Chains A and B, each alone.
Chain A
Amino acid sequence: MTRRGIAHASLIAVAVVGGLVAAASPRARAQEPRIVAITAKRFEFSPSEITLKQGETVTLQLRSEDTTHGFFVRPLGIDKDIPPDATTEVTITPKETGRYRVICDHFCGAGHGGMKMTIVVE
């Protein structure tokens, strides 16, 4: 390889490495939604309260430890079933601040009526 060719290859290598560094930078990581894990079991959600930021895109990872539960909160546009042995994902970007009650709307037994949690949007 000529000296000029070596210089070109070096520039390309630097550009590639620079690109890889840029991809791993905090700016690039911030574009992926934050993940919040929520577990459902008869008759509670865990955690019982989560806090999100207004305008922040978040992915809720929902899992059931026993039977199918519902995850319903009308003002946030969420109405999902959480079957057992699988992860259900919901990505939201809350627009309004407030405290939102989430309920289980898939009848799951005697304590179904009290199964709820709170999403706080600040």
Chain B
Amino acid sequence: MKRDLDRRRFLKIAGVSMGVGALYTVWPGLGGSAEAAEAARRLGLKTGEKPTTFTFAQLSDAHVGFDGPIGTRALEKAVDSLNALPQRPDLILFTGDLTHDTEKPGEHAARMKRFQEIVSRLEVPKVFHIPGEHDAGLDGGELYRSVFGPTYYSFDHRGVHFVALDNVSRARPEVGAEQRAWLARDLARFHKTAPLVVFTHRPLFDLRPDWEWFTSDGDEVMSLLAPYENVTVLYGHIHREDHHTVGHAQHHAARSLSFAFPDPAQVDDKKAIPFDKDQPFKNLGLRVAEHAHGRAAGADTVKVEDVELTMKEFSGTEGFNQILKPATF
């Protein structure tokens, strides 16, 4: 499937699916124009950093310790793939279920350590995590916090405000009143056009409630984000790629690094897609992208094409956009 994506706007966050994750590129689409420079200056005053081109990646649901045929091979392959990119990402976001839960004493901590060992090989300056229910659902996140730090927080990077939300540590699928109050305070200093990237584990909308693919106070969270025009929500949990737009917000789920779930619109039961030993990364497949420069200034296009991942090779991306409108500054 080929899709041409228009890059003529000021600032774009283009998402690219690597199958074993997603790679995002943020860049100013208007290049060196005076209008772009002024918009960048004003955004920089708000966020502390002027927007500049950068890429970041999302990986999700490694489930280290899960007793499955893939083991940690997909996570290790993702690390190698990212390290091999000609343009190294600035940062990586892990959207939960880093490990698979266990009640055997000492074992869950060992799985978290194993995860860290593999991920430490990433040649990327910054790596950020949030827990999934398998990391933090049984103990309220106590072990997770001792290893990885806070379960919700925020940070700024090159003009983009990143917000990590925890919708798993309360055992139920919810963010909770205390964290929502924190979110409201955190967002208050930003202009409504500031680019926001929210990363969390469970979907913040009703994707398939009877498969537990929802957050009970997701509407309240999205109401806090509703005034902001450029919101991208990245999440995991569902072990498949999904794209969903609600108002100004675009929600994107990354595929899993362990196993896949079927399309909830096609089947009634939530059962993992069977492992195929002849195609071990099937349903964790990659997509190819070609980034071509157009002749007219600012008329660059990104072409995408779907291909299936094999054991021997991978390539590519699929893009999707979120656009910052210069006229709204």
Give me the interface of A with B, judged by CB distance under 8 Å: 68, 70, 72-74, 79, 81, 101, 103, 105-110, 112-113
Question: Are the CB atoms of A107 and B137 closer together than 8 Å?
Answer: yes
Question: Would you call B102 an interface residue if the criterion is a C-beta within 8 Å of the partner chain's C-beta atoms?
Answer: yes
Question: Are the CB atoms of A109 and B212 closer together than 8 Å?
Answer: no
Question: Are the CB atoms of B101 and A68 closer together than 8 Å?
Answer: no
Bound CA–CA A70/B170 (angstroms): 12
Chain A binding surface SS class: mixed
Which of B172, B173, B209, B212 sits near A113, CB closer than 8 Å? B212
Question: Are the CB atoms of A107 and B133 closer together than 8 Å?
Answer: yes
Question: Are the CB atoms of A110 and B102 closer together than 8 Å?
Answer: yes
Question: Are the CB atoms of B173 and A109 closer together than 8 Å?
Answer: no
Which of A70, A72, A107 sits near B138, CB closer than 8 Å? A107
Bound CA–CA A26/B101 (angstroms): 52
Contacts of B173 in A (CB 8 A): 105
Question: Are the CB atoms of A110 and B212 closer together than 8 Å?
Answer: no
* Contacts A79-B216, A109-B101 known; 5 new A-B pairs at CB < 8 A: A68-B171, A101-B210, A105-B212, A110-B101, A113-B270
Question: Are the CB atoms of A74 and B210 closer together than 8 Å?
Answer: yes
Question: Are the CB atoms of A105 and B102 closer together than 8 Å?
Answer: no
Question: Are the CB atoms of B216 and A107 closer together than 8 Å?
Answer: no
Question: Are the CB atoms of A74 and B101 closer together than 8 Å?
Answer: no
Question: Are the CB atoms of A70 and B172 closer together than 8 Å?
Answer: yes
A102 smallest CB distance to B (angstroms): 8
Question: Would you call B103 an interface residue if the criterion is a C-beta within 8 Å of the partner chain's C-beta atoms?
Answer: yes
Query: Considering only CB atoms, which chain A residue lies closest to B211 in the complex?
Result: A103
Contacts of B212 in A (CB 8 A): 72, 103, 105, 113
Bound CA–CA A68/B216 (angstroms): 18
Bound CA–CA A87/B211 (angstroms): 25
Which of A74, A101, A105 sits near B172, CB closer than 8 Å? A105
Question: Would you call B309 an interface residue if the criterion is a C-beta within 8 Å of the partner chain's C-beta atoms?
Answer: no
Contacts of B211 in A (CB 8 A): 103
A-B residue pairs, 10 tightest by C-beta: A107-B137, A101-B210, A107-B133, A74-B209, A107-B171, A106-B171, A106-B172, A105-B212, A103-B212, A105-B172
Bound CA–CA A112/B137 (angstroms): 11
Bound CA–CA A26/B65 (angstroms): 58
Bound CA–CA A117/B163 (angstroms): 36
A selection of 23 A-B contacts at a CB cut-off of 8 Å is: A68-B171, A70-B172, A72-B209, A72-B212, A73-B210, A74-B210, A101-B210, A103-B210, A105-B173, A105-B212, A106-B172, A107-B133, A107-B168, A107-B171, A107-B172, A108-B138, A109-B101, A109-B103, A109-B138, A110-B101, A110-B103, A112-B137, A113-B212
